[in-house]
Amino acid sequence: MYDITKLAKTELKLFYTVLTVLLSTTLLMANRTIAESVAPVEKLAQNSSTSTNSQPESSTQTDKNLELIEQYNLLPSIPIAQVTSVSQFSDVQPTDWAFQALQSLVERYGCIAGYPNGTFRGNRALTRYEFAAGLNACLDRVHELIATATSDVVKKEDLATLQRLQEEFAAELATLRGRVDTLEVHTAELEAHQFSPIVKLVGEAIFSVSGFTGGSTTLRDDRGKVLTTNAESASNVAFSDRLRINFNASFTGQDLLNIRFQPNNTTSFAGNTLTGTNQTRLGFDGNNGNAAVISRLFYQFPVFGQRGRIFIGAVNTPDDFLNTISPYEGPGTGSISRFGLRSPIYRIGNTNTSVGFDYNFTDKIQISGLYGVPQAANSSPKNGLFNGTFAATGQISLKPTKTLDVALTYVHAYLSDGNLNTSTGSFLADNIGDSQPTNADSYGLEATWRIPPRFTFTSWVNYTAANQTSGRGAAESFNYMTFLGLSKAFSKSNELVFGFGQPPKLTGVQGKGVGGSERDTSYQIESFYKIHMSDHLLITPGFIYIINPENNSTNNNIFVGVLRTTFTF
C-alpha cells in the first residue's frame, strides 16, 4: 500500500480524471465491441476448406441480434483476480497504446484486476459484471485515499474537479446505460423466441433459364459406337430452379455440423434425348422433382489447437472438404459448367461417404487426406467401407505469396466397374477401365494467381493412369482448364470471366480387346459475367461451347446458353 502523503496533487487529480474517463470509455467499448468478441457460428463453414459454398452474411437486424445472443452465450465467465504489477499480464506489452495508463492504475493505485490465467484481455468486450468488479476496486481505493488523506493532499478543489468531470460525462453515461438496458431487453426476448441457440440457417436459391443448340442427331464416341440417338438437334429453352438450405450447428463454438437440403428440378443436358454428352452438363443441374432430400451431411471438429481438423462426411462430401483452389467452384456463384467448377480429380469414384483430416504446418503450408466410398451404408458384396469402389486422396496446399495458391493432389482409386464417374469428360475417358475392375492413380496440379489490380488467373491439369486388376489392359486420360477473370468489368462490383480447356480425354490404351485411344480432341470454351445486383443477388449470363463433342470431330459442335440468378440469405 502506498503512503498517501507521497502522492503529488497532480497525480491525485490525474487519478480522478483517469477513473472518470475509464468509466465512460469502458462502457462505450462494451457497447461498441460486444458484437466482435466472439466469432459467429456461420464463420465455421467458411473455415471448412473451400467448397462449402460460403454465403454472404445477412444484414437484417434480426440476424444481428441472433449473433449477439450467440456472443452473450459464449462470453467467458471466469472470476477476476487482483494484480500488483502490469508485467503480470501476459497479453500487455510496453508498446501497447494504453500501457502507461494500465501501469499507473495497477502499480500505483491497485485499481485494475486481471484473469487467473494471467491475461488482461484488453481487446475483448467488457461485460457489466466485469466492469462492476473493476469499478468497485477503484471506488474502494478512492475511499481509502480520502479517508487517509491530509488537508495538504486532498482539497476541495480536487473534489470539485472530480465532481465537475462526473457531471460533464453524466449525459453520456446515462445514454450508454440506457442502450445496454435496451439491448438486454431485446436479447432476452430473442433468446426466448429463437429457433436454436446453436444453429444458423444459410440458404441459396437459383433460378435459371438455359438451352442448347447444335449437336448431332446421332452421337458417337471416337470409336464410332453410337452413344445416343437424339431426335432433336436443338432443345427448347428451359426454366428451372435449385434450392439449398444449410443448417450449420456448433456445440463447442469450434466444431461444425452441416445438414443441407437441396430440392432441384434442373434436368441435365446429358440426357439421351438432349445432347447425350456429359460435356454439356451445368454446374448446378440435377433433378429430384424438387423433393426436400438431404444432399450433404458432415461433422468436423478441430484438433491440435486450431491447426488441425477432423472431417466425417455421411452424404455427398468429398469435394466439399478438400481445398480445390479454384475461385469459381460455387455452382451458384462460380463457373456455369460442371467441368469448370473444379478439377475432375476431386470427383473420382463418385464417392459419397468420407473421412478426412487437414493440418496447417504454417499459414502457407497445409496437408490434407481423405478416404471416400460411394456405398458405405450398403453391406452387400462389393460395397461398404472397404469392399468396393474407393478413392484415397492426399494433397499439399501451398501459399508462396499473398496472391498465389498452389495445390498438388494425388488420388489412388479402386473402381469396381472401371468407371471414374466424374461425369465431366467423354464416355470413353470416364469408363477408363472398360467396365472391368480397375486401379487408377491420378495426379493433379491446381493454381490460382490473383494479379493486381484486377485480374485472376486459375488453372488445373490432371493426368490419370489406370490398370485393370486382371492385367488385361491399361489406359490413360488427360484434361486441363484455364480461367482468366477481370474484376470491376463495366461496373465496380462485377466480374467477367473467360475459360478454355480440354475435358477428360482417353489418351493412351494398351492391351487386347480394350479398344484404342481417342484420336480427336474436345475443347471447351466458356465465358460468364457476374453481375452483383446487391450483396445477396447475383445475375450470371454465360455460355459453354463444346468443339468436337465426345472427342469425335464428326459430331457437331454444341452451344449451351445460361442465365443464372442466385439469391443468398
pLDDT recorded at residue 41: 37
pLDDT recorded at residue 31: 40
pLDDT recorded at residue 82: 63
Angle, alpha carbons 414-285-495 (nearest 5°): 105
pLDDT recorded at residue 167: 74
Helices (H) and strands (E) in the chain, counts: 10, 22
- Return the closest-CA partner of residue 547 out of 513, 508, 500, 506: 500
| 3 state SS of 497 | strand
pLDDT recorded at residue 14: 43
Q: How far apart are alpha carbons 241 and 265 in whole angstroms?
A: 6
Residues of the chain with pLDDT under 70: 1-82, 128-137, 139, 143, 145-156, 158-159, 162, 165-166, 194, 229-235, 317-319, 512-515
- Return the closest-CA partner of residue 305 out of 234, 262, 254, 345: 254
Q: How far apart are alpha carbons 102 and 100 in whole angstroms?
A: 5
Q: What is the DSSP string of 452-485?
A: TTTEEEEEEEEEEEEEETTSSEEEEEEEEEEEEE
Please name the residue that has the C-alpha cell 449477439: 68
Helices (H), 291-435: 318-321, 338-341, 427-430
Q: How far apart are alpha carbons 31 and 294 in whole angstroms?
A: 40
User: Backbone phi, then psi, for 85, in 5-degree steps?
Assistant: -145, 140
- Beta-bridge partners for 394: 369, 410
Return the H-helix or E-strand segment holding 128. helix 128-148
Question: All 3 cell numbers of residue 199?
Answer: 444453429
Contact 82, 109 (CB under 8 A): no
Contact 426, 220 (CB under 8 A): no
If one counts every other C-beta atom within 10 angstroms of the C-beta of residue 404, the result is: 14
Contact 118, 89 (CB under 8 A): yes
3-state secondary structure 230-263: CCCCECCCEEEEEEEEEEEECCCCCCEEEEEECC
- Beta-bridge partners for 546: 524, 558
Angle, alpha carbons 340-433-268 (nearest 5°): 35
Q: How far apart are alpha carbons 77 and 130 in whole angstroms?
A: 9
pLDDT recorded at residue 215: 83
pLDDT recorded at residue 94: 82
The whole-angstrom distance between residue 234's C-alpha and the CA centroid of its chain comes to: 38
Burial of 331 (0-12, 13-18, 19+ CB in 10 A): buried
Range 92-124 burial, b when 16+ CB lie within 10 A, else e = beeebeeeebbbbbbbebbbbbbbeeeebbeeb
